[in-house]
Structure 1
């Protein structure tokens, strides 16, 4: 028995393997009752009142649907220089480096050492008391290699968790990309909408100023009263008072565009300020269905990968319950310099090494319970993200549909107000009614014009909100191998 020490090693390894009667495996990817698995989450969005949307796939570069060269250039600048995207890209690089580190654990490790020095060993230590040992130049040189056997899947689970972390970081980057594209588009549309509303307001001010001037002349000739003049002047100033607010909105949108594209406000092309009409969609807005939404939204992908990573880390924690077995080999030469690398200076070792925290494994169980709790939290977050995505999309669709209806109704009201103003003016010119009726008709038309302009601005903002909820604006989907 003593002549075959390798049999003892085999016995120890066998005992360790028998002690770990079950291997560590990852838990199921997603529970059957997860929100993402519910049939209702994969169906078509409600469409009985969505005449302005189409059940077509959402393009990744959805901003091209506006057919605006200026907007295309702004989005490309934002994607290239936005600071939030740079942070997200750095976080992704960090996750990829962690994956490389986890992958390195699957490879053998090597070591190389060399040293020399003038030394003397202790005679007492060497069991030669009474006479000091001589002082000499000594050296040491060695090479070692070791490889941990992944008997219980800890290394593989660690690698899988790191791989899922890369997927989560990719999803986080793509989510930032979606937001940057949407906010850049929103800022540009708001700037152009404000420019359009400023033109309308100034046109209304000019029209009302003409009315005020005419009223003053009529009052001078006794055909209108001072009350008519005051009312017309008040209406003129009321319309004029909306212009500073619109100018501020346009300037704020300009500043936001600069920040989103990584520039100072002074660096943006000045011709952008000349935009007085936001680009419009030439066809119904494509929205796809629930199934495509769940695959497309990067925040859902991120939450899914985070749940997968949390599940893998349970396996990492469970593997601590079992022995760790590593195979190692080393060769070295140690001795005095004058006898360097002689046969009697060489030594070597070859064999397995077993480490095991036993019998005190309380800490291992505590780490397992922690990992299990973290997975439950990750699954809950994943369900929440899925439900939130569906809620945001359905809500954006509802708001967009109702604002479209409101815009159409106001456009019809504007047509009627214009006709009423024209008819009232003709009646006044024929002497059949007083000028007060003309003022009322013009006041109504001005109010409706402003309402139409504001409704059009709101519809443009709704489109961006809907695209943001749909999660378009990125192309690379992280896939788990």
Structure 2
């Protein structure tokens, strides 16, 4: 080959290398943050978020604190989410390992026979039948050109971060459900107390009506009316007891245990937690940082962006270095001689030039998946803001309702006492007494329901604010994740957006 031809080929090679270096795929990008209001619509919400980490302690219930601790360590959904983290961690190692050197050791022994009709590849003097012995190593390494390794690592890391955020979201929901069921149980216990207390008064009314009837002061109608109201109240108690047991069974499920007792066994007697005067839920913009489901959607969008870059890299060449070193011989006795050594080594360049249409279609499909993930992220932010604002508004209105019902219950109790006194003096009919006691029962029930609902709105507000995941349960083997392994390494990503802490 002449010198001009060699120089021309060398120049073409340099130009080709420069062109390949200039071909780069897009960098992994983080979705743009969605703008949220600087203040909540409800003035009762404060920007202090120190209580969010352990918000259930603001309800001042040692029993609830114990239930939360048991749920965080024993809930089965939480354990399942922990194993999903372990799965994504293993998949990340497997994905990144694709661009590490690969090698296989091989050893074989064959009986071979050369065709007598075809062209012989054996040297003269060698028979057509012979043994073939070989032992060696096959190795290959695909060079991660055009950010392939970077995109692969970004996608796998983002998926692992998404699994971490999913577990945190499971924890947030779990703690809220435990607290909600606890308040539900306390509300039902108070409703049962109200029903039994009113049942006692109604029995007294029936006895008074019977005494007056026996004395000839009233008709038998008064006795029938009083007895009917007593039996209706008594008939409602089994329904409340059944609902209470169902709520207790639900708590057992949440803490990872089969039902093993009644409300008295699990909770003991107690009142509905007090309604706080205000809620400390941080600022609306904190939802982007605190809500695990928002952070999960963000990481999923990052993963789809990285996969898009990986798909675009398929339009560019693949460079692999392959090699084989082995000992080959026609007999075992000479297999380990120096003359049996054989090897191959060299680069392989592969380019999907003829499959460009199919590759471009895959890129378009991945671009659509990335856009879907961006929309899902934006939707999660808006839904988080809506959920938080709704919970805060409902809490404020429910607290007002508690104040009004407290006054109504006081008046209903006073009316019930007056009606009993006046009935005993023969000033009013038994119907007035029954109506007054029915209104008192309704007022008592409505007040207990309103108190319980107000506290449950507090729980929903803290859940909407993303509180609770900072309190880790006791560590397990699948939870021991190094935070350094959960960070995106690609350039251009904000530090706070690519980490899983």
TM (norm. structure 1) is: 0.88
Q: CA deviation at 1:121?
A: 4.3
Q: CA deviation at 1:252?
A: 0.8
Equivalence for 1:182: 176
Q: CA deviation at 1:23?
A: 0.1
Q: CA deviation at 1:116?
A: 3.1
* Distance in 1 (alpha carbons) for counterparts of 2:81 and 2:302: 20
Output the aligned Cα RMSD: 3.1
| Aligned ranges 1:110-149 → 2 under 5 Å | 110-122=103-115, 124-127=118-121, 133=127, 135-149=129-143
Q: Deviations over 1:85-139 (max 9, x none)?
A: 2222222211111111122134222332222344444564534699762644442
CA contact (8 A) 1:9 1:352 kept: no
CA contact (8 A) 2:115 2:128 kept: no
Query: Does 1:193 find its partner at 2:187?
Result: yes
Between stretches 321-330 and 215-224, larger displacement belongs to: 215-224
Query: Does 1:151 find its partner at 2:145?
Result: yes
* Distance in 2 (alpha carbons) for counterparts of 1:426 and 1:342: 118
Query: Does 1:382 find its partner at 2:389?
Result: no
* Distance in 2 (alpha carbons) for counterparts of 1:444 and 1:269: 28
SS of structure 1 residue aligned to 2:446: helix
Equivalence for 1:469: 464
Equivalence for 2:403: 408
| Aligned ranges 1:353-368 → 2 under 5 Å | 353-368=348-363
Unaligned regions of 5+ residues in structure 2, if any?
A: 473-482, 488-497
Equivalence for 2:245: 251
Between stretches 298-307 and 355-364, larger displacement belongs to: 355-364
* Distance in 2 (alpha carbons) for counterparts of 1:229 and 1:456: 35
| Aligned ranges 1:23-422 → 2 under 5 Å | 23-26=24-27, 28-31=29-32, 36-40=33-37, 43-48=38-43, 50=44, 53-57=45-49, 58-122=51-115, 124-127=118-121, 133=127, 135-266=129-260, 271-272=265-266, 274-280=268-274, 284-336=278-330, 337-422=332-417
Unaligned regions of 5+ residues in structure 1, if any?
A: none
TM (norm. structure 2) is: 0.85
Q: CA deviation at 1:8?
A: 6.6
Q: Deviations over 1:284-321 (max 9, x none)?
A: 33211112222111111111111111111111110000
Q: CA deviation at 1:72?
A: 2.2
* Distance in 1 (alpha carbons) for counterparts of 2:217 and 2:263: 52
Pair 74,21 (structure 1): closer, same or farther in 2 beyond 3 Å: same
Pair 127,328 (structure 1): closer, same or farther in 2 beyond 3 Å: closer
SS of structure 2 residue aligned to 1:46: coil
Q: Deviations over 1:197-237 (max 9, x none)?
A: 10111000101110121122223334334443333333323
CA contact (8 A) 2:134 2:335 kept: no
Pair 400,187 (structure 1): closer, same or farther in 2 beyond 3 Å: same
Q: CA deviation at 1:396?
A: 1.0
Q: CA deviation at 1:79?
A: 2.1
* Distance in 1 (alpha carbons) for counterparts of 2:354 and 2:104: 32
Q: CA deviation at 1:170?
A: 1.3
Q: CA deviation at 1:28?
A: 3.4
Q: Deviations over 1:420-461 (max 9, x none)?
A: 344455556666656654444333322211221221222232
SS of structure 2 residue aligned to 1:392: helix
Q: Deviations over 1:444-480 (max 9, x none)?
A: 3222112212212222322222222222221279652
CA contact (8 A) 2:275 2:399 kept: no
SS of structure 2 residue aligned to 1:274: coil
* Distance in 2 (alpha carbons) for counterparts of 1:235 and 1:152: 82
Pair 268,14 (structure 1): closer, same or farther in 2 beyond 3 Å: farther
* Distance in 1 (alpha carbons) for counterparts of 2:29 and 2:220: 82
* Distance in 2 (alpha carbons) for counterparts of 1:326 and 1:108: 10
CA contact (8 A) 1:314 1:368 kept: yes
